[in-house]
Structure 1
Amino acid sequence: MAKTKGIVIGCLVFPLILIVAFVIGFYAFAKDVTSAKKIADNSWLVLNPTGMLADYSEVRNANIFDYRQSSVEDICAKIRAAATDSRIRGMVIRPRMLEISYAGISEIAAAMTEFRKSGKPVYAQGDMIFQKDYLLMTMADKIYMEPSASAEISLEGVNAQITFYKELFDKIGVKVHVLQSGAFKGAGEPYSQTSLKPGTLANYRQALGSRYELIIRDIAARRKLSPEDVKDILEQRADYFISSAQAQKFGLVDSLLSRDAFENSFGISEKKSVAIADYEVKQSIVPTGDRVAVVYLSGNIMPGYTPSMGTEASISAQKVEKIIQEIRADKAVKAVVVRINSGGGSALESELIYQKLKSLQQTYPVVVSMGGVAASGGYYISSASNYIIADEYTITGSIGVIMMIPDGEGLGRKIGVRNQNISFGKYAGAFDLFSKPDPEFLNSLQRNSTAVYTEFKARVADNRKYTDAEIEAIAQGQIWSAADAKTNRLIDEIGGLNSAIAKAASLAKIKDYQTVNFPEPISLWDAIRKSGSWSRALSSMKKINILTPAQIQEYIDHSIITNEWLYMMPFKMD
């Protein structure tokens, strides 16, 4: 009876989901057609990003119910277009709880430098201002802040939080066997230890410390403060929140003005302003001449094709192959820039992507532009290039490999589950969650780990021209700041995306060119369909909330990436 009831409910809900999806798709299409905003002369462009801001959005005109998700690429293109747009008088920066990579902030800073060359003013105004909001606001000529006592700035510095699960696993009877090659490859340490190993901690502190010094330098330079004064603000101030009065005293802001007073002072009104999301860049009729393809690859490296819907999605060989086919079909493309922002993932998928990029390199010069993180598998695929340029905030390296094998024998005893395997073959049933792994099986995997690690080092050594001793010294799972990576020859140059594009054009020996972005944006509906969100929503309707041993194993397998070789960072940097 209960099963029949579930089927009836499912039959009723499924058509409803289809109707809602159709309405959403139709509304989004209608908005795309009619939403272009008329811009009055002498208007202000309002740079007001909020929430997650990815490098690139693979969704075309993803605006629905008056909401649009921008990207760093989209914002930079609009800022550059506004510099020569006679309708735009100046710019107002007003971010809110911005989540963006530090390399993304660098890209916006480069676009802002071009905008300011136009002579148009740039002002910033805010009330509750967080660190990345503030870094964006420091690009303004002047910063204004709400004078209220409840208006505050939060500057934290740099932090990487690593959560350790070993004691929790001990309590529930789960042990994680971490098989790794690379003494500093710390991705498995949260599951097997209660704190980082001293060598791993020292390596992370060095890389994160470099990023901290860059933040201090940038705030000091843009606000005309000494680095020592900025460091004192970050480390010596009494209170977590910096009040508006303190912010003015410290030199973090120029004046205290409410939003209304600020807008009245500069003639900013609803009719005389346009939000960055509503500002449409005029496209050239038909691009002619040579092209440099700019390929955006962001997110974890894993099988399958998941489009980015304004957030970092995933990178797969399937996705890269589709992009390469599109590039080869465009006969105007003469060079390729690959913008990589990834902490890695599947070792096998990294190798498959590497092979595809090496194949592309046979036809075109390939230049890599590194985003906030291009480490582990992210560095693996970066090495398949003619030249590597990293943003100064980039964290890279992490050349090493791990696999984690969960041992749930103790958990099985606690919940009354015990497996008896009837096996034929030496390693049959070796990955059984509720049985203790055989030592010979673990030794075998450790030998495999060495082989996978050797392949990683060989790929890098071959492309970057290292000796065995040289690659071993910079590998071992160590992460590096961009400056240290350049010293160690892991990268060729420190710079932004425009530098990479110029280098690619130079290698292709072309001077008059345009850029074209890949993957080509798709519709919102196609993005939802390809992301698998639809099928996951439907399958979740069928699940019964009773935990079986199979469901426990499935939960552990999806919570921790197990039973697979990984080129992966231990934590998310940006």
Structure 2
Amino acid sequence: MNKVLSILLIFVVSLISALSQTTQRSFLHYYQLRNISQTAPTAFKFGLYGFENPAITSYLHDDDYLLLYSQNFNSSINDYNLGFFSGSPFGGTGLLYTRLGDNSVIDYRASFAFGDRNLALGLGYGFVGGDKSHFGRSNTIHAGLLSRSNPYLSIGISGTFALDKNEYETVYELAFRPIKNYPLTFYGDLALFNNQNLEAAEWSAGVSFEVVDGLRLNGRYFKDKTIALGLDLSFGKIGVGTSGIRNQDNDYSKYSFALRFGAEDRTIIKDIFVPEKEFIKLDLSGPIKYQRFAFLDKSLTLLNILKTIELARKKESVAGLVINATTLASNRAILWEIRDKLEEFRNTGKKVIIFIENADINLYHFASVADKIIIDPLGMISLEGYILGRSFYKDLLSKAGIGFEEIRLFKYKSAYENFARDKMSEADKEQRQKIVDDWLQIASTDIERSRKIPAADFRRLMDERMIYFSNSILQNNLADATGRWTDADSIVKKMYPEIKNLSSASKLSDIKKPFDDKWSSQKKYIAVVYAIGECAMESGIKARSLVNTLKSAISNPNIKAVVLRVDSPGGDAMASDYISEVIRENKDKKPIIVSQGAVAGSGGYWLSMYGSSIISTPMTITGSIGVIAGWLYDRGLKDSIGVSTDFVKVGKYADLGFSYSLPLIGIGMPVRNLNDDERRQFENLIKDGYSEFIRKVADGRKADTNKIEKVAQGRVWSGFEAIKLGLVDSLGGLDFSVRVAAERAGIQKEDYDIIELPKPGFMDFAALLSRLIGTDVKKEDKHTRFLKFMTEKNGKIMPMMPIDFFDEIPGD
């Protein structure tokens, strides 16, 4: 990339040189701008936003604007300039009005820049208005290069070419900082007009010094012995500056005054303006996904919600959050993550007000974090507790003429009980009971603390009534007032009369910090990589493509750490191993933190086991270290629907997987069950697969295999219990995982952005079609996908959890 930019710049400048022969100047040349430029562009901030060197805006972090006025006070005629300049990271525009006596001219320039913080190229175009012929002005094209390949040296090259005459100017700039990332800059520049030799060239040299943040002193000496001095003061989003230039005979003196506004800058005075306190309204209506489509999708996403809360936490003017949770829908783990972030928000002394309508225990647990819970006058709260149940299809399959053989060797590995039994095994009841007990302990502890309800009273509230209505809700301190989200402004202002404004969350934005003091410092990223759904090569986590996404993130030098978000109940061991092996091979190169969502068990834990650190929510279902196999086969269905089969074979086991397909749905099954020999071989494969799983977990967790065996056998655990067993390292959500990744990578929050991978799809065509035809176009649901997956993997050794855990995964 850098070589390409350099070649392009050399070509442009060479072309300009070849086309130019004369010595008359027909455009605003570089040193005519010395009255308004305190230094060379590459030495101080962003110059005039590409007006001199078009490449310079590549170091601008946000949109910025500059107003300038300059006047020669020793002149007997009108001699002044007015300028307006604007810039963004991608280019700039500017106009400079020059008045000299009775004549005036306006120079307009527009430019764009591309590249990175090491090397950037810029191109621009200039045109002239006013007394163009009087001043002999020509329209122009511009090219520029900015090279900052190390933190001590800045090199700029720019060229201006007159379109009406064969004339050009080339400017060379060199700036040096003796101390890394400290804005004390010595510089020199040189301008060559047409074929001028070096002796005839104009030049200047100077120094720019940012004494403290936002206070800059500039000095510059020119070849003609003219001296310029400048002062620049920044107050954050606004700044002022002044400079003066005087020649040795004192017959020329010009002073300029500047006002800058727009982009955040380092500032000499903190909090110059005290903002009025306000509450931010955060609408959490609807389901929460991990990623939304790039186009026509306004869905809530977890990372955006967490980011919004963090922005509100950091912004001084925000005194509280007012949250619409009336139709909020998500799983326990994600609700816990947002609740945890809101608790962090409250710990800064800020308020949280949450509006609800009808809440089950999951939503109420979330809402209990609030200082004030407002429930609809006709709203209800149910403290029903927690349940984990499952449906069984053994008799259904039997009546349909379908047989199912569960090949299970481990006590708690219950993935196929739905198809092999008519009720839960005692082992499955045991592990599920422990999980719901943990969930209740977590929720009740949080609710009791937040609502100041004694433990005995809360248990009484759970057991006394199925549902609480508004009057009993208030009497039992389950909410603070009744009201509706449509009246949120008046309700909140009545509760907090000192708050005058309730603003939309869209008002919050991440403050972009300047980086012009850090030459060659590339933008740093933390990649959040999503592994969501069943572990499969082409569906679910899409391991075949996800492995390349993960490798790309690891090899990208600007991505300093990776957070792998796992929300998967397992599936194909090969798909899990594709990803886990990449983590194992690369976690010493950069931190790879695993963040577990609602479900990260079996193959989902296989994905997690080699992480630099595994972070789980207390509500997560994890573990399930074990493998199982199932054999779905025909036991009369084909005969009952009039399907017959026949075959020839060579090889003892050739007919083992011989199947037929049902018309229309394309799902079929083998025509016979396993024999004793085949079942024994499957059992041996399961033993081998289990041993390999145990060995890998022990390797990843740096633990003895005997220790892992004690918590394995296919048993599922809550994250609350898993940390005690050494299966995870910390309790926290995605936000916490990103912070851990940054800490491990040695970077501060203001020094990185988050990039989400894989890139989301362009748009949800099924949703669009539903809108167009006015009828829902149903996508394949998780259960149908699971059944297809199971038939495709019939007889395979699988690290997989039961089908009901698929319902916990957000997104579909």
Q: 2:422 aligns with which of 194, 205, 217?
A: 194
Residues 294 and 515, structure 1, Cα contact 8 Å, conserved in 2? no
Unaligned runs of 5+ residues in structure 2 are: 1-274, 495-499, 516-521, 660-668, 771-776, 778-783
Q: 1:215 to 1:117 in 2, by over 3 A?
A: closer
**CA shift at 1:121, angstroms?**
3.0
**Structure 1 residue 458 and structure 2 residue 695: aligned?**
yes
Rg: which structure is higher?
2
Per the alignment, residue 436 of structure 1 pairs with 672
Residues 324 and 485, structure 2, Cα contact 8 Å, conserved in 1? no
Q: 2:442 aligns with which of 211, 214, 219?
A: 214
**Structure 1 residue 383 and structure 2 residue 609: aligned?**
yes
User: In 2, distance between residues paired with 1:262 and 1:358?
Assistant: 50
Per the alignment, residue 261 of structure 2 pairs with none
Per the alignment, residue 516 of structure 1 pairs with 754
Which amino acid in 2 is paired with 1:456?
F
Per the alignment, residue 565 of structure 1 pairs with 797
**CA shift at 1:376, angstroms?**
0.6
Residues 98 and 132, structure 1, Cα contact 8 Å, conserved in 2? no
Q: For 1:176-191, what aligned pairs fall within 5 Å after superposition?
A: 176-191=404-419
**CA shift at 1:443, angstroms?**
2.6
Per the alignment, residue 298 of structure 1 pairs with 532
**Structure 1 residue 316 and structure 2 residue 543: aligned?**
yes
SS in 2 for 1:396: strand
Per the alignment, residue 324 of structure 2 pairs with 94
**CA shift at 1:256, angstroms?**
2.7
User: In 2, distance between residues paired with 1:96 and 1:367?
Assistant: 33
User: In 1, distance between residues paired with 2:410 and 2:323?
Assistant: 44
Which amino acid in 2 is paired with 1:363?
K
SS in 1 for 2:628: strand
- Summarize deviations over 1:423-472 as a string: whole Å, max 9, x none: 11122131233522241333322222222222111110112233333222
- Identical positions, percent: 25
Q: 1:480 aligns with which of 717, 739, 752?
A: 717
Residues 127 and 145, structure 1, Cα contact 8 Å, conserved in 2? yes
Per the alignment, residue 287 of structure 2 pairs with 52
Compare the two structures and name the one with the higher strand fraction: 2
Q: For 1:221-236, what aligned pairs fall within 5 Å after superposition?
A: 221-234=449-462, 236=463
User: In 1, distance between residues paired with 2:626 and 2:598?
Assistant: 19
User: In 1, distance between residues paired with 2:454 and 2:280?
Assistant: 31
- Summarize deviations over 1:318-338 as a string: whole Å, max 9, x none: 223223314422x23333222
Q: 1:504 aligns with which of 723, 741, 744?
A: 741
**CA shift at 1:237, angstroms?**
2.2
Q: For 1:95-494, what aligned pairs fall within 5 Å after superposition?
A: 95-117=325-347, 119-148=349-378, 151-234=379-462, 236-238=463-465, 240-259=466-485, 263-267=489-493, 273=502, 276=505, 278=506, 281-282=509-510, 284=512, 290-304=524-538, 314-329=541-556, 331-431=557-657, 432=659, 433=669, 435-439=671-675, 440-494=677-731
Unaligned runs of 5+ residues in structure 1 are: 1-39, 306-312, 535-540, 542-552
**CA shift at 1:117, angstroms?**
4.7
User: In 2, distance between residues paired with 1:87 and 1:100?
Assistant: 30
Residues 97 and 133, structure 1, Cα contact 8 Å, conserved in 2? no
**CA shift at 1:86, angstroms?**
6.2
Per the alignment, residue 19 of structure 1 pairs with none
Residues 407 and 437, structure 1, Cα contact 8 Å, conserved in 2? yes
* TM-score normalised by length of structure 2: 0.56
Which amino acid in 1 is paired with 2:284?
P
User: In 1, distance between residues paired with 2:510 and 2:785?
Assistant: 49
Residues 524 and 560, structure 2, Cα contact 8 Å, conserved in 1? yes
SS in 2 for 1:96: coil
- Summarize deviations over 1:462-507 as a string: whole Å, max 9, x none: 1223333322221110011224322322122233334433443444
Q: 1:303 to 1:555 in 2, by over 3 A?
A: closer
Residues 182 and 399, structure 1, Cα contact 8 Å, conserved in 2? no
Residues 686 and 797, structure 2, Cα contact 8 Å, conserved in 1? yes
User: In 2, distance between residues paired with 1:197 and 1:42?
Assistant: 58
Q: Kindly tell me the number of residue pairs found equivalent between the two proteins.
A: 496
**CA shift at 1:131, angstroms?**
3.3
Q: 1:403 to 1:126 in 2, by over 3 A?
A: same
User: In 2, distance between residues paired with 1:275 and 1:428?
Assistant: 65
SS in 2 for 1:146: strand
Residues 285 and 328, structure 2, Cα contact 8 Å, conserved in 1? yes
**CA shift at 1:88, angstroms?**
4.8
Residues 322 and 353, structure 2, Cα contact 8 Å, conserved in 1? yes
Residues 615 and 728, structure 2, Cα contact 8 Å, conserved in 1? yes
Residues 340 and 378, structure 1, Cα contact 8 Å, conserved in 2? yes
Per the alignment, residue 66 of structure 2 pairs with none
Which amino acid in 1 is paired with 2:729?
D
User: In 2, distance between residues paired with 1:522 and 1:260?
Assistant: 33
* TM-score normalised by length of structure 1: 0.78
- Summarize deviations over 1:50-102 as a string: whole Å, max 9, x none: 33213x21533x545xxx10111110101111234467553212213433232
User: In 2, distance between residues paired with 1:511 and 1:324?
Assistant: 24
User: In 2, distance between residues paired with 1:483 and 1:194?
Assistant: 30
Residues 483 and 491, structure 2, Cα contact 8 Å, conserved in 1? no
Q: 1:390 to 1:84 in 2, by over 3 A?
A: closer
**CA shift at 1:291, angstroms?**
4.0
**CA shift at 1:162, angstroms?**
0.6
User: In 2, distance between residues paired with 1:407 and 1:520?
Assistant: 37
**CA shift at 1:365, angstroms?**
2.5
- Summarize deviations over 1:252-298 as a string: whole Å, max 9, x none: 11123455665323349xx965555x556346378855444333322
Residues 294 and 518, structure 1, Cα contact 8 Å, conserved in 2? yes
Compare the two structures and name the one with the higher helix fraction: 1
User: In 1, distance between residues paired with 2:475 and 2:642?
Assistant: 64
Per the alignment, residue 549 of structure 1 pairs with none
Q: For 1:3-22, what aligned pairs fall within 5 Å after superposition?
A: none
**CA shift at 1:355, angstroms?**
1.3
Which amino acid in 1 is paired with 2:673?
P
Which moved further from structure 2: 74-83 or 434-443?
434-443
SS in 1 for 2:537: coil
SS in 2 for 1:57: coil
Q: 1:96 to 1:425 in 2, by over 3 A?
A: farther
Which amino acid in 1 is paired with 2:727?
L
Q: 1:524 to 1:407 in 2, by over 3 A?
A: same
User: In 2, distance between residues paired with 1:163 and 1:279?
Assistant: 47
SS in 1 for 2:600: strand
Residues 187 and 402, structure 1, Cα contact 8 Å, conserved in 2? yes
**CA shift at 1:185, angstroms?**
0.6
Q: 1:516 to 1:261 in 2, by over 3 A?
A: closer
Residues 97 and 130, structure 1, Cα contact 8 Å, conserved in 2? no
Q: 1:69 aligns with which of 272, 275, 299?
A: 299
Which amino acid in 1 is paired with 2:799?
Y
Residues 293 and 516, structure 1, Cα contact 8 Å, conserved in 2? yes
Residues 335 and 363, structure 2, Cα contact 8 Å, conserved in 1? no
**CA shift at 1:195, angstroms?**
0.9
